[in-house]
A and B are shown apart, each in its own frame.
Chain A
Amino acid sequence: MQVTVDVKGETTHEVDLPKPTYADVLRAVDLSPHEVSVLVDGRPVPEDQPVESSEVTVLRLIKGG
């Protein structure tokens, strides 16, 4: 499955994976589900679920200091 991953404020990646979960997509762009949230149509989604959208947005955690 072809997925466009828009890491907000950084780069956009294209990944192609067989039946990926959102966590698989994150791994493919070298991110951990513990440092980002994945949004689909503006709504957060559980990362262990199969990807159902060809476009996802990734919000990176920002240190709070």
Chain B
Amino acid sequence: MTECTRCGREAVMHAAYSGAHLCESHFCETVEKRVRKRVREDGLVPRDATPDDPETWVIGLSGGKDSVVLTHILDETFAEDPRIELVALTIHEGIEGYRDESVGACVELADELSLRHELVTYEDEFGVRMDDVVEDDPENMAACAYCGVFRRDLLERYADEFGADKLLTGHNLDDEAQTAMMNFLEGDVAQMAKHFDASIGGFDGDDARSDQDEFVPRAKPLRDVPEKEVALYCHLRDLPAHITECPHSSEAYRAEIQQLLYGLEENHPGTRHSIMAGYEELAGVLADRYDEDGDGPDLHECEDCGATTTRDRCRKCSLLDSLEAV
């Protein structure tokens, strides 16, 4: 038996990047602490939030392990805090079987936590189902390319409708390190600055993100926790997550980067953490620089749906047009 570094009980995991062996209770405690620390460091709870004028946080709850763990920890932390109101938002993309089951997991979790839960569907909102979109595929793209555009549109629109001050998503350390590497390897410096202002920059202090009045600000409080540890936490806490791969999942480049990072992490433990530490600092510097130069994108309203976009018509409306034309 391997002993927990902290208490001598039986260890359930080894974090090579820190050298620690942890038992179930110390492991779960460290996951919760990391999320709370990130909430603090990013300044998610503003000083002016009061019981009379609380903040509303909409959590994107898919029913997968990441968003289920995020929702569980945020609820444990803030359910009794009158300054914060939590709303869970689930999106049904029209993927038969897969999403029906994960919506079930979301309903179960929200019931358990007595959390306000809202469900919106691509079918009601756009008149499309992802199962049909992948069949028609008028733009010759991966399923995730359509789905991401539609999902972001609905998250943004409904977060706004529910009066969200922030939109929280369950991106973990692996997700963010992959995105950072992809931005580097694609040489997409503007995207790094945008990433900082949209979701990873803090809300207070000298290095805060700049205000983006057009969008509900996003945050990723789970992004210090490796994906494997999110899954382990979910398993140990017996949370009602839905664990099946999306049948249309097809992000080939991301999968390649993921394998690369597994190898690096194996030979150099802590690589994902150091990628993110450096990337966040760099993205912050870049965001400032773009801000000073006034090189921000020229934003206006989509002529069809009114969503904020850099084009005359937003990407979602053009995709819906191509689907209509099939």
Name B214-236 residues within 8 Å CB distance of A.
226-228, 230-232, 235-236
Q: What are 24 residue pairs bridging A and B, where the CB atoms are less than 8 Å apart in the complex?
A: A32-B262, A32-B263, A33-B266, A34-B228, A34-B262, A34-B265, A37-B231, A37-B232, A43-B12, A44-B12, A44-B232, A46-B11, A46-B13, A46-B14, A59-B235, A61-B228, A62-B243, A62-B244, A62-B245, A63-B245, A63-B249, A64-B67, A64-B172, A65-B246
Which residues of A are found within 8 Å of B72, using beta-carbon distances? none
How many residues does chain A have at the interface if contact means C-beta atoms less than 8 Å apart?
19
New A-B contacts (17) at CB < 8 Å, excluding given A43-B12, A45-B12, A46-B13: A32-B262, A32-B263, A32-B265, A33-B228, A34-B262, A44-B12, A46-B14, A48-B16, A61-B231, A62-B231, A62-B245, A63-B245, A64-B64, A64-B66, A65-B62, A65-B64, A65-B246
B42 at the interface (CB under 8 A from A): no
Residues of chain B at the chain A interface (Cβ within 8 Å): 2, 10-14, 16, 21, 62, 64-67, 170, 172, 174, 226-228, 230-232, 235-236, 241, 243-246, 249, 258, 261-263, 265-266
- B-contact 0/1 string along A47-59, CB 8 Å cutoff: 1110000000001
- The answer to whether A49 and B14 touch (CB under 8 A), given A34-B265, A59-B235, is yes
- The answer to whether A64 and B266 touch (CB under 8 A), given A37-B231, A37-B232, A46-B21, is no
Smallest Cβ-Cβ distance to B64: which chain A residue: A64
- Cα distance A44–B258 when bound, in Å? 23
Does B235 lie within 8 Å of A37, measured CB to CB? yes
- Cα distance A21–B324 when bound, in Å? 55
Does A37 lie within 8 Å of B228, measured CB to CB? yes
Total cross-chain contacts (CB, 8 A): 71
Does A64 lie within 8 Å of B170, measured CB to CB? yes
- B-contact 0/1 string along A16-35, CB 8 Å cutoff: 00000000000000001111
Smallest Cβ-Cβ distance to A61: which chain B residue: B231
Which residues of A are found within 8 Å of B231, using beta-carbon distances? 37, 59, 61-62
